[in-house]
Structure 1
Amino acid sequence: MAKVSHQNLYDYIELKVYDVHGYKRGRFIHRCQLPSVIKNGIGMRHGMCYEGMHGPSNQHPLFTSAVNYSNMRMVPILSTLRPCQKSVFGNRKVGSVICELRFPEDMSVDTSSPREATQAVLDLLREEFGLHIKSSFEVEFGIRDPKKQKYLGDRSQWASLVTVGKNQELLLGLMDEMRTMEIKMDTLLSERAIGQFEYTFELTDGIEAADMVAEFRAASHLYLESKGFDAEFMACNDPTTKIHNAYHYNISLWDSNGVNVFLNPDNPAELSEFGRHWLAGLIEHAPALTALSLPTVNCYR
């Protein structure tokens, strides 16, 4: 949990929830409101995680006429309180915190929100199997100048340090900005397509990796826009290149004794029996996992 002194660093707090598109929604409060919001939450429309990407509401009957939306309570998860990005807020003291959505009747957690659905699975791993997850992401995306209609860089050359060197103010500036927001990025790579780059994140416990990559996506758009560029995360923005953007998710499971349960040096590929069952489960449930983790049109184009 964030210390009281940490909370007092900010004059304004961004209360946010990430929706099914990975888009952050919420509201800002002044610091004077924070004690009340921590205790009681603050009102927000139920269904906020399923709004349309660019404004119009989802018109499917399961999200409209078949649902009687109530007013939920956004409750801050203080362990996620971080600084907001300087390229947007300048010298203004603004913090950002992820919130749970809770039902006002009994303050129980709404597990239909993407983050809480994920957290419920992690809790199940811990409670039933005594395991916790360590994970990190590798994120590929494109950087494009919308005025010139041109991608950053002048050639397609994988792992080109020249490309990074020529554009270091932008590329390393993005990493610097993320580190000041306590987003733990650790490497940068020029990828195969012109203007395509990969940033990787430090290995972290539990849901922190997902929290960081969600914030990176939102913050990188704003940072690059302030520099005159667009960030493009669509899987296949240009079908003619046959080069795609992806999030590579690297995971391992650990028991209470600090043992990686995927590892057995005596087995082929050093993969334990538990690890083989885990992989088999991923293959068996791939269609359902695809629907859960890739729920929108932009995931396929």
Structure 2
Amino acid sequence: MTTGNLTTTEESVLETIEDEEIDFLRLQFTDILGVVKNVSVPARQAEKAFREGIYFDGSSIEGFVRIQESDMRLIPDPETFAVLPWRTNEQGAAARMICDVVDTSTGEPFAGDPRTVLKSALDRASELGYTVNAAPEPEFFLFEEDEDGRATTKTNDAGGYFDVAPKDLASDVRRDIIYGLENMGFEIEASHHEVAEGQHEINFEYDDALATADNVATFRTVVRAIAAQHDLHATFMPKPIPRINGSGMHTHLSLFTEDGENAFHDGDDEFDLSETAHSFLAGILEHAPAITAVSNPTVNSYKRLVPGYEAPVYVAWSDRNRSALIRKPAARVPAASRIEARFPDPSCNPYLAFAALIHAGLDGIERGLEAPDPVRENIYEFDEQKREEYGIDTLPSNLGEAVDALEDDAVIKGALGEHVSEKFVEAKRQEFEDYLVDVSQWELDRYLETF
């Protein structure tokens, strides 16, 4: 917390607020489920926010605190200041800063703040001599709205993978989203129509894991806000339409040493991966069932994780095919050597998902785990006997199984911390129980008139 003079970065933010005639600041954070929350304050409160923080009621936020211990404080990170591109000066220009949450009773970072959870994972990596870079690929659908402005599941185009107009009718929407993201400091690498009708992907450059998690939260906000300007609803729901491809968030990870060298690269290895990378990869494979509860955290997530729709369900890795849980992408230069975890989806809380992946990988390094041989065949074509022959397990088939795996995994529970793991499990158990007692339209269509 800043108690004395403002830092140079904070002073720079105050100058920008004045120069850009910013009227309001949105102080942003996320609950444990990954839902973005914000407190809006007049821009004139910025200096106070830096010096003292802004108080709010934490008992109203999913997974934070009980009513009798509700006072929390937001401390804005000036490095995350960005002007919101969809607000015009006529509406009153606004900017946002992402905040850390402080427990007012102790003055310490709040253990239930997902950003704090990720910072703890990065501290653990730092103790081992590493920094962590991440690059996600969040996919999303664009749907038309009905006459009341509510989301439908009717796509606004019939495009497919890499299609162009006239099949891809959303290229203008993606263009506006990209402009908005660039105005907020993103470095966009590429965008394209995905496999399913109405499905899209916009890739942005890798960064350190904390900045990347911030960017994922920002990305989802920007995509939905700008899509709404086009009278479309953007959703990061993993499987909004049955029997077509769902949306994933493939996540590329790499470790760098203190001298800036890629700890994952070894040119003498058959796969250009170092021993460190192999152990990190092995750690993720070992803890994958528990990680899925965090990286694939909804009942709907497991409608995506089924064979036949390009989503990985088999606990294996490969340097070639995309049917494995983890892939080693081709790298043009040593600095680009990395692994790609293909199972996370964009409904996850990015702070918690990255923390789980990092702790799992670091556990593999600390224990010197050895990765199994890569599987270069299409695992989707394996029968059960062949999968057993290769020693390939499958991910949990539903959220209940994933939460069971999380509760049995001390490393991933430790990655979340006692507070978050307890609240997260509680919320997800309730979600799964609600699902089990519900009756779906599929059941009504199939059974109502038959029996």
Amino acid at match of 1:154: A
Equivalent residue, structure 1, for 2:254: 252
Check conservation: 1:138, 1:247, Cα contact below 8 A: yes
Equivalent residue, structure 2, for 1:2: 9
Equivalent residue, structure 2, for 1:112: 112
2:51 corresponds to which of 31, 35, 39 = 39
Equivalent residue, structure 2, for 1:26: 38
Aligned in 2, Cα 1:163/1:130: closer, same or farther, shift over 3 Å? Answer: farther
Counterpart CA distance in 2 for 1:163 and 1:124 is 50
1:239 corresponds to which of 239, 242, 245 = 242
Aligned in 2, Cα 1:25/1:94: closer, same or farther, shift over 3 Å? Answer: same
Aligned in 2, Cα 1:50/1:163: closer, same or farther, shift over 3 Å? Answer: farther
Check conservation: 2:158, 2:197, Cα contact below 8 A: yes
Equivalent residue, structure 2, for 1:174: 177
Check conservation: 1:134, 1:253, Cα contact below 8 A: yes
Equivalent residue, structure 2, for 1:50: 62
- Taking the TM superposition and a 5 Å limit, the aligned residue runs for 1:72-111 are 72-87=72-87, 92-111=92-111
Equivalent residue, structure 2, for 1:189: 192
- Give the % identical residues: 24
Amino acid at match of 2:254: S
Does residue 139 (structure 1) correspond to residue 138 (structure 2)? The answer is yes
Q: CA deviation at 1:227?
A: 1.1
What CA deviation, in whole Å up to 9, does each residue of 1:192-239 have, x standing for no partner?
Answer: 111111110112123111111111112211211121101121111112
Aligned in 2, Cα 1:254/1:280: closer, same or farther, shift over 3 Å? Answer: same
More divergent stretch after superposition (194-203 vs 19-28): 19-28
Amino acid at match of 1:276: H
Q: CA deviation at 1:163?
A: 5.2
Number of residue-to-residue matches in the alignment: 286
Q: CA deviation at 1:31?
A: 2.2
Superposition TM-score, scaled by structure 1 size? 0.86
More divergent stretch after superposition (273-282 vs 78-87): 78-87
Counterpart CA distance in 2 for 1:164 and 1:117 is 43
Greater C-alpha radius of gyration: 2
Q: CA deviation at 1:300?
A: 3.7
- Secondary structure of 2:95's partner? strand
Aligned in 2, Cα 1:3/1:99: closer, same or farther, shift over 3 Å? Answer: closer
Counterpart CA distance in 1 for 2:167 and 2:260 is 38
Equivalent residue, structure 1, for 2:389: none
Q: CA deviation at 1:285?
A: 1.4
Aligned in 2, Cα 1:295/1:163: closer, same or farther, shift over 3 Å? Answer: same
- Secondary structure of 1:278's partner? helix
Regions of 4+ moved over 4 Å: 87-91, 163-166
Aligned in 2, Cα 1:204/1:15: closer, same or farther, shift over 3 Å? Answer: same
Equivalent residue, structure 2, for 1:59: none
Aligned in 2, Cα 1:284/1:45: closer, same or farther, shift over 3 Å? Answer: same
Superposition TM-score, scaled by structure 2 size? 0.59
Does residue 208 (structure 1) correspond to residue 202 (structure 2)? The answer is no
Aligned in 2, Cα 1:46/1:191: closer, same or farther, shift over 3 Å? Answer: same
Cα RMSD for the two superposed structures: 2.4
Q: CA deviation at 1:298?
A: 4.6
Check conservation: 1:184, 1:212, Cα contact below 8 A: no
Aligned in 2, Cα 1:150/1:295: closer, same or farther, shift over 3 Å? Answer: closer
Equivalent residue, structure 1, for 2:331: none
Equivalent residue, structure 2, for 1:15: 27
Amino acid at match of 2:38: G
What CA deviation, in whole Å up to 9, does each residue of 1:44-64 have, x standing for no partner?
Answer: 12245516xxxxxxxxxx976
- Secondary structure of 2:191's partner? strand
Structure of greater relative contact order (alpha carbons < 8 Å, 6+ residues apart): 1
Q: CA deviation at 1:169?
A: 2.2
Check conservation: 1:140, 1:247, Cα contact below 8 A: yes
Check conservation: 1:18, 1:114, Cα contact below 8 A: yes
What CA deviation, in whole Å up to 9, does each residue of 1:245-287 have, x standing for no partner?
Answer: 0111111100011111111111121111111110111111123
Equivalent residue, structure 2, for 1:287: 289
Counterpart CA distance in 1 for 2:279 and 2:105 is 41
Q: CA deviation at 1:91?
A: 5.7
Counterpart CA distance in 2 for 1:88 and 1:216 is 19
Equivalent residue, structure 2, for 1:230: 233
Equivalent residue, structure 2, for 1:221: 224
Counterpart CA distance in 2 for 1:143 and 1:125 is 37
- Taking the TM superposition and a 5 Å limit, the aligned residue runs for 1:156-175 are 157-162=160-165, 166-175=169-178
Q: CA deviation at 1:33?
A: 1.5
